[in-house]
């Protein structure tokens, strides 16, 4: 019967909390705590020795990301290991990053004994539910990614509508050149520069050139344009 127990490794750097988890899990007839450690380094080290079925992994131990770093390392070498992360508060970005790595679930540190045991068993039996709160976090993240991609595509589309002169004007403005300096560099009248900036604003449907520059910088467009120019110069 002993061999049928779910082997659990607990990784938690605060000793009283670690002891609490261990005590809770040891009361479950079908769970065995094979190791309890206080660092991500120890967790990685002992996984190979004890081969736990499930790991309760604290996020912040010897460093702020040691739990996630250990998770990445463990799942790389032992992809079948089920990992449940422990956290003090529900930070959307951290939780989403953990799910991207392949964790099964997460649980708050102040969860009651029944929730902890159920979470362990759900992970072991591959029935970890996508709870509403997790589903909402994942939905929100994908919406953020979608909006960012949509903004980038929109931005790139607008750039294709610009003339080379307008692109050069934007590049100079982004470098901090004043309109007067641009006139001197390009040997044109102020009225010409104003007309070019007006045309840029019209294409972007914005009223302020600063907004245009902020949009382009948020999408790293100038870096992309400089790289493309550099490649073109090399081929020439």
Indicate if 113 and 43 belong to the same structural domain: yes
Please state whether the predicted TM-score (pTM) of the whole model is above 0.75.
no
Indicate if 64 and 158 belong to the same structural domain: no
DSSP-derived secondary structure letter, 2: G
> CA-CA distance, 115 to 104, in Å (whole number)?
15
Indicate if 214 and 170 belong to the same structural domain: yes
Indicate if 58 and 100 belong to the same structural domain: yes
The per-residue pLDDT for range 17-51, each reduced to its tens digit, is 999 999 999 999 999 999 999 999 999 999 999 99
Residue 174: pLDDT band with limits 50, 70, 90? very high
Parallel, antiparallel or unpaired: strands 54-58 and 31-37: unpaired
85 or 150, which is more confident: 85
> CA-CA distance, 144 to 142, in Å (whole number)?
5
> CA-CA distance, 85 to 109, in Å (whole number)?
9
- Start-to-end CA span in the chain (Å): 74
109 within 8 A of 88, measured Cβ to Cβ: yes
> CA-CA distance, 137 to 142, in Å (whole number)?
9
The per-residue pLDDT for range 88-113, each reduced to its tens digit, is 876 767 777 788 788 888 888 889 99
Indicate if 116 and 176 belong to the same structural domain: no
Number of domains in the chain: 2
Question: Which range (70-74, 79-83, 223-227) has the least confidence?
Answer: 223-227
> CA-CA distance, 106 to 92, in Å (whole number)?
11
Indicate if 21 and 108 belong to the same structural domain: yes
Question: How high is the pLDDT of residue 1?
Answer: 38
58 within 8 A of 12, measured Cβ to Cβ: yes
Give the domain extent around 41.
2-129
**What is the percentage of the chain residues whose pLDDT exceeds 70?**
81
């Amino acid at each position: 019967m002993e061999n049928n127990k779910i082997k659990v490794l607990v990784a938690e750097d605060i000793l009283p909390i670690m002891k609490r988890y261990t005590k809770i899990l040891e009361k479950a007839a079908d769970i065995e705590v094979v190791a309890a450690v206080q660092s991500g380094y120890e967790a990685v080290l002992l996984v190979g020795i004890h081969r736990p079925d499930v790991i309760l992994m604290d996020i912040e131990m010897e460093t702020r990301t040691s739990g996630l770093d250990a998770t990445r390392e463990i799942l790389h070498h032992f992809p079948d290991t089920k990992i449940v992360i422990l956290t003090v508060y529900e930070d959307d970005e951290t939780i989403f990053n953990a799910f991207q790595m392949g964790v099964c679930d997460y649980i708050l540190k102040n969860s009651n004994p029944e929730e902890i045991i159920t979470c362990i068993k759900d992970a072991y039996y591959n029935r970890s539910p996508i709870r509403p709160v997790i589903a909402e976090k994942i939905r929100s993240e994908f919406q953020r990614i979608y909006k960012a991609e949509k903004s980038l595509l929109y931005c790139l589309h607008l750039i294709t509508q610009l003339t080379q002169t307008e692109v050069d004007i934007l590049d100079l403005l982004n470098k901090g050149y004043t309109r007067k300096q641009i006139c001197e560099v390009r040997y044109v009248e102020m009225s010409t520069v104003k007309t070019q900036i007006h045309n840029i604003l019209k294409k972007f449907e914005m009223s302020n050139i600063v907004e245009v520059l902020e949009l382009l910088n948020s999408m790293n467009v100038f870096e992309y344009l400089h790289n493309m120019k550099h490649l073109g110069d090399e081929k020439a």
